[in-house]
Amino acid sequence: MFDRRLAESFDWGLLLLMILIGSIGLAVLYSAVTAGDAEGVRLLFKKQVIWMCGGLVLICVCLLVDYKYFEKSSLIIYLVCIACLAGVLIWGKNVGGSTRWLSLGPFTVQPSEIMKIALIFILAAVYAGVVTENGLGFGKLVKPALLCVVPFFLIVRQPDLGTALLLLLIAGSMTLFVKVERKVFFSCTGAAFAAVPAVWFLLKEYQKSRILTFLHPGGDPLGAGYHIIQSKIAIGSGQLYGKGFLKGTQNTLSFLPEQHTDFIVSVLAEEWGFAGCFVLIVLYFLMLFWGLNISYCCRDMFGSILAFGITAMIFWQIFINMGMVMGLMPVVGVPLPLVSYGGSSVITNMVGFGILLNISMRKHIAA
Amino acid sequence: MARYVKSPDREWLKKRLMGAGICIIAVFAVLLMRLIYLQIIKGEEYRRLSENNCIRLKSIKASRGLIYDRNGKLLVDNRPSFNLKIVTEDTGSVKSTVEKVSRLIDVPKKSLLSGIEKNGTRAFYKPVVLKNNISRDQVAIIEAHKFDLPGIIIDVEPRRHYIYEKSCAHLLGYLGEINKKELQSGRHPDVYSGDSIGRYGVEKKFEKLLHGKRGGRQVEVDADGRIIKVLDTVDPEPGMNLSLTVDLELQQVAESMLENKSGAVVAVDPSNGEVLAMASYPAFDQNDFIGGISGKKWRKLMDDPNKPMTNKAIQGEYPPASTYKIVSTIAALEEDIVDKNTQFFCPGHYRYGNRTYRCWKKWGHGDVDIIKAIERSCDVFFYHVGEKAGVDVLAEYAKGCGLGRKTGIVLDDERSGLVPTTDWKENRFGVPWQGGENLSIAIGQGYNLVTPLQMAMLASAVGNGGVLYKPRVLKHVTDGRDKVVKKGDPEINGGIPAGERTMEVLKKGLLKVVQGSRGTARGIQIKGAPIAGKTGTAQVFSIKDREILDTENLDYFLKDHAWFVCYAPAKDPVIAVSVLVEHGEHGSSTAAPIAKAVVKKCLEKRNLLKAEDE
């Protein structure tokens, strides 16, 4: 099953991009956690390195199995993930007011993260069977919509608005990618706008306040408003070339409590300036187009949609996270792929890259 | 009919992906433009703001809720305290700055530095306390030299103040700095390290209500950490104000009567269970605990053999002695062991087996019926009752009267006392119950233990016709705008297991204790308002567990405890009081006058004395 052609067509470029971005991430994280005095905070860096090594191992595992195999087993993966999400609501570990983690012996996993991959798989499998040139009608969209809504509400219940939203965005991108009929597109857009007031009532108090804070940052000067201001000061003060590695002054845990996770870009921007940010953005940009290219080169529909879905997942995380840190978007907890601290995020994204590499190296093998 | 696309059509796929590519390009363009705007166009301005971390968040402590007595008299408030702090990041050299401060305000450098050393790990730019509560003169000196002292700030913060020193100490409790473990427990979400939380009494039990919510201020500071501009403020929410059921005047009377004694006084309102006074003596000064009590003072409190830190009203367990005859009377009448006409002859002693049990009156009371037995506290009469009823029947009634279990008052560490039974003794000591012990139990000696609060609730229940209320200390809670947000409502713990006729006899007997010509407490009669009560003199059985016993004090610690429980006026009582004086010797001479003083004050306040005079 594993022949030489596979090794020859291995996608070194994507791997290189991934390693470059991961290295930038580790360097920034090192700076971010060194500022904190506490021993526990320094431990975060070590943990992140371990997660990344684990991610590399998982990538190797991903490569062994032909992605086409997952087309058939995607439903099982999906159902297992749904069961895990339901399990979280029942037995989950509560951290900071929300229940997102499931304890499996010494490990805690965040099923909502794995759910992203599972959803991409099952949507790719479903759409691959029904794609038409003219686009999908309402009838063909019922099943994907249901597949998407169930995990969405399970994750909203945790509550983890950021991940739930991400799930919708990924599913939406994939649906638009396989094309929907014009009338479907317009009526869905209309319905979405109409739903805004209803959703507003379902949001938790802190989520409402975050959105209000985004629209009117002065409203919560001690909480989210303060974070946004500090984040903007950190980014802006980096100017063109930055203050230098480990020289950031805003870079203290007290100013941005989540700066090693969601606000990590502010550390990069302060210490490496516009130049550093530009390099990271270009790397991300190349990575996304690389993903689209993999989708294009793939010979079968399932692989194309799958590659597109993974690319969309990475894209939305970058967009939401950077937009938030730069004060373009409300503060929602979405990590930056390969840069933000966090085991589940690192593993999920690296598994995503593993799948991309998998599709990429099998492009020359006939379906 | 649409055609399914099995393998992707190159052109179709290209078109779809182009759309996605355009989206990516657009988004990245926006991000880059935003970066250019923040870092290059506005970079200079943000760099300036970031120098020295110009924009800082200062938290503003919420002022803790006030505590009032039942008549709106302020018991606990907050006074401004000037706290000297340092932001080490703003000071060039911590050492030289602290040295300067030390010289200016004449405080040893070592004590100033101790706060910095204690804070091993902390957030950057968070002020560290050098000295709390500096004087106004010291404030003036620091302010005058402000420009020589970069990083030094003076914060005005509320400081707890207990207005009446040592008054209501055990009830109100005190504060203490929150420790690491409590911070990590997550039970105090709005409390930060260095803050105080209630450690005892009402301060502890109602911590959540009293604490309030801290606010904060976004400020711009200069290079030395001085505030240039306040950008935004979120006001703190002060804690809720509590009104207690306690009446300060009654409390003070009780406390002054306990002066130089060791004991407890509890007064309750028989109509609803509200605690009107709860004094325990000796007491401690709550103001000593603010900002941490000194080791010397703490040791002195802990070493005192009279245990000032113990709230004797709820934690002191004593043999009830003759006050227990209330229970024995109910048992005797309800079990038809005696009726109101049954008479026993008291020769001053009672023979049981080959032992002689003495009455407190050597030459005896002669013929006594039950009312006389209560009035004169005749032991022999109740020996008859004890022998016939047996310990287990007495225990049933004692439990019915609320003894042997906690009253459920909100304060911590309430003791339940002890109501012995035959089973209890078997389990506890492995020895069977002796018949003679029934006799001791009936007069409240032996294993029985009660708290002054339990006896107050019992007296209150007898006075109101049988309802055992749960004692309450919280009258109502008001928010900052004086709106009542929570009200304490009466709760009932049970009822005395006695019929109307039994109660009538019992009340008559208790009335005679004070009003009768030969009552044991006839010395405390108040003109115009009859009191009904019962004295008690409890033998101190074991002195083994007293740790400190020098010979000089030995006599004192062997003396009997004095009890008095009562309610007044006898008909429709408005107050029930229980008094215990440790080693006070005689209930009639030591405890009863204290109860009288409290009752008198209460009746005076309610104009119940004059009304009957006329």
Q: Are strands B474-478 and B484-487 parallel, antiparallel or unpaired?
A: antiparallel
The token pair at A121 is: 């798989």
The DSSP 8-state label assigned to residue B342 in this structure reads: -
Tell me what the mean pLDDT of segment A79-91 comes to.
86
The overall average pLDDT reported for chain A is 81
Q: Running DSSP on this structure, what letter comes out for residue B4?
A: B
A323 close to B (CB below 8 A): yes
CA–CA distance, A113 with A347 (Å, rounded to integer): 9
Q: Which residues of A touch B46 (CB under 8 A)?
A: 232-233, 235-237
Which pLDDT tens digit goes with each residue over B321-371?
Answer: 899 999 999 999 999 999 888 899 999 889 888 888 888 888 888 899 999
DSSP string covering A242-275: -S-TT--SS-STTT-TTTTTTTHHHHHHHHHHHH
Give me the helices (H) in B43-84, please. 43-50
Instruction: Name the amino acid, one letter, at B387.
Output: E
- On the question of pLDDT at B586 being above 70, the answer is yes
More confident residue, B554 or B501: B501
Percent of chain B with pLDDT over 70: 93
What residues in B contact A232, CB-CB < 8 Å?
38, 46
Kindly determine whether residue B17 and residue A308, on different chains, have CB atoms separated by under 8 Å. Answer: yes
With a cut of 90, say whether residue B24 has pLDDT above it.
yes
Residues of chain A with pLDDT > 90: what percent? 23
Distance between CA atoms of residues B379 and B446, nearest Å: 14
**For residue B145, what pLDDT band results from cuts at 50, 70 and 90?**
confident
Q: What confidence tens digit (pLDDT) does each residue in B272-320 have?
A: 999 999 999 899 988 888 877 888 888 988 888 888 999 999 999 999 9
ipTM of this complex? 0.88
Residues 6+ away with beta carbon under 8 Å from A271: A28, A31, A238, A242, A243, A244, A245, A246, A247, A248, A251
Report d(CA A153, CA B149) in Å as an integer: 57
A326 to chain B, any CB pair closer than 8 A? The answer is yes
User: What's the whole-number mean pLDDT along residues B453-472?
Assistant: 94
- Torsion on CA atoms B381, B384, B389, B392, rounded to nearest 10: 80
Predicted local distance difference test score (pLDDT) of residue B2: 41
Contact A151, A85 (CB under 8 A): yes
**pLDDT greater than 90 at residue B268:** yes
Residue/partner pairs of B12-21 with CB below 8 Å, 24 or more apart = B12/A133, B13/A295, B13/A296, B13/A304, B14/A296, B16/A177, B16/A178, B16/A179, B17/A177, B17/A292, B17/A295, B17/A296, B17/A308, B19/A176, B20/A173, B20/A177, B20/A292, B20/A308, B20/A311, B20/A312, B21/A289, B21/A292
The whole-number average pLDDT for the span B210-218 is 84
Which residue did the predictor score with more confidence, A344 or A245? A344
* Cα separation, A205 vs A223, whole angstroms: 13
Asked if A91 is an interface residue toward chain B (Cβ–Cβ < 8 A), one would say no
pLDDT of residue B120: 52
Please give the pLDDT value at position B186: 67
Give the residue from chain B lying closest to A243, CA to CA.
B47
| pLDDT number for residue B3 | 45
| B237 DSSP 8-state letter | B
At residue B613 the predicted structure's pLDDT band, cuts being 50, 70 and 90, is very low
pLDDT band, very low/low/confident/very high, at B546 (cuts 50, 70, 90): very low
Question: What pLDDT is stored for residue B487 in this prediction?
Answer: 86
The more confidently predicted of residues B266 and B529 is: B266
A36 Rama sector, left if φ>0, alpha if ψ -120 to 50, beta otherwise: beta
The residue that leads in pLDDT, A225 or B605, is B605
Q: What is the pLDDT of residue B595?
A: 93
pLDDT average, residue stretch A71-75: 86
Question: What's A316-354 look like in SS3?
Answer: HHHHHHHHHHCCCCCCCCCCCCCCCCCHHHHHHHHHHHH
User: Length of chain B, please?
Assistant: 614
How far A132 CA lies from chain B's nearest CA (Å)?
A: 5
Beta strands in chain A (DSSP E): 93-95, 98-104, 107-109
- Would you call B45 an interface residue with chain A, using a CB distance cutoff of 8 Å? yes
- pLDDT for the residue numbered B119: 55
Long-range contacts: B466-470, Cβ < 8 Å, 24+?
B466/B495, B466/B496, B466/B498, B466/B503, B467/B492, B467/B495, B467/B496, B468/B401, B468/B402, B468/B492, B468/B493, B468/B494, B468/B495, B468/B496, B469/B268, B469/B270, B469/B272, B469/B273, B469/B493, B470/B273, B470/B407, B470/B408, B470/B409
- Chain-centre distance for alpha carbon B203: 7
Q: In what order do the strands lie in the sheet with A98-104?
A: A93-95, A98-104, A107-109
pLDDT in tens, B483-497: 888 888 888 988 999
Task: Assess A157–B contact: CB distance below 8 Å, yes or no.
Answer: no
pLDDT at position B183 over 60 = yes
Tokens of B592: 């009863």
- pLDDT, tens digit (0-9, with 9 covering 90-100), for A278-306: 999 999 999 999 999 999 888 888 889 99
| Comparison of pLDDT for B393 and A161, the residue scoring more | B393
β-pair type (B241-244, B67-68)? parallel
A234 close to B (CB below 8 A): yes
Range of weakest confidence among B68-77, B154-163, B284-293, B456-465? B284-293
| Three-class SS state of A364 | coil
Among A18-32, A304-318, B144-158, B586-600, the minimum mean pLDDT is found in B144-158
Rounded mean pLDDT, A320-333: 83
B406 band by pLDDT with thresholds 50, 70 and 90: very high
Say which range, A22-26, A129-133, A323-327, B485-489, has the weakest mean pLDDT: A129-133
Q: Is B196 a catalytic residue?
A: no
3-state helix, strand, coil in chain A (%, to 5): 70, 5, 25
Q: How many CA atoms lie within 13 A of A18 on its CB side?
A: 23
How many whole angstroms separate alpha carbon B391 and alpha carbon B346? 22
Distances (CA, A) of B187 to A279, B182, B184, B191, B389: 45, 7, 8, 9, 50
Rounded alpha-carbon distances, angstroms, from residue A359 to A68, A129, B20, B250:
9, 18, 19, 86
Tokens of A72: 């058939």
- Active-site entry in B322, B328, B460, B588: B322
Percent of chain B having pLDDT more than 90?
40
Q: Which range scores top for mean pLDDT: A92-106, A172-186, A284-298?
A: A284-298
Tell me the C-alpha distance between B493 and B470, whole Å.
5
Query: What DSSP character marks residue B411?
Result: S
**Facing residue for B55 by CB, picked from A229, A322, A367:** A229
Give the B window 113-172 contacts with A, CB below 8 Å.
Answer: 121-126
For residue B191, the model assigns a pLDDT of: 78
Q: Which residues of chain A are within 8 Å of residue B55 when distances are taken between CB atoms?
A: 229-230, 233
Nearest Cα to Cα of residue A271 among A35, A85, A94, A7: A35
At B90, the pLDDT band (50, 70, 90 cuts) reads confident
Q: What's the Cα-to-Cα distance from A225 to each of A214, A231, A243, B215, rounded to whole Å? A: 8, 10, 25, 14
d(CA B459, CA B566): 6
- Length of chain A equals 367
What is the least distance, in Å, from the CA of B159 to any CA of chain A? 24
Strand B532-538 relative to strand B561-568, pairing: antiparallel
B196 Cβ contact list (under 8 Å, min separation 6): B160, B175, B176, B177, B178, B290
Residue-by-residue DSSP string for B534-593: EEEEE-----TT-S---HHHHHHHHSPEEEEEEEESSSS-SEEEEEEETT---IIIIIHH
State how far Cα B362 lies from the chain centre: 43
Cα–Cα distance for residue pair B492/B495, rounded to 1 Å: 8
pLDDT band at A237 (very low <50, low <70, confident <90, very high): confident
In this model, does residue B225 exceed pLDDT 90?
no
Distances (CA, A) of A164 to A47, A150, A187, A305, B559: 26, 11, 22, 21, 74
Cis peptide before B569 (omega within 30 of 0): yes
What is the structure's pLDDT at A94? 64
Set of chain B residues whose Cβ sits within 8 Å of the Cβ of A131:
4-5
Going by pLDDT thresholds of 50, 70 and 90, the confidence category of residue B399 is very high
Which of A227-236, B1-10, B334-343 has the weakest average pLDDT? B1-10
Please say whether the beta carbons of A324 and A225 come within 8 A: no
**Location of structure tokens 């306990």:** B258
Question: pLDDT averaged over chain B?
Answer: 86
Contact between chains at A252 and B125 (C-beta distance less than 8 A): yes
Q: How confident is the model at residue A136 (pLDDT cuts 50, 70, 90)?
A: confident
Identify all chain B residues contacting A295, using CB atoms and an 8 Å cutoff.
13, 17
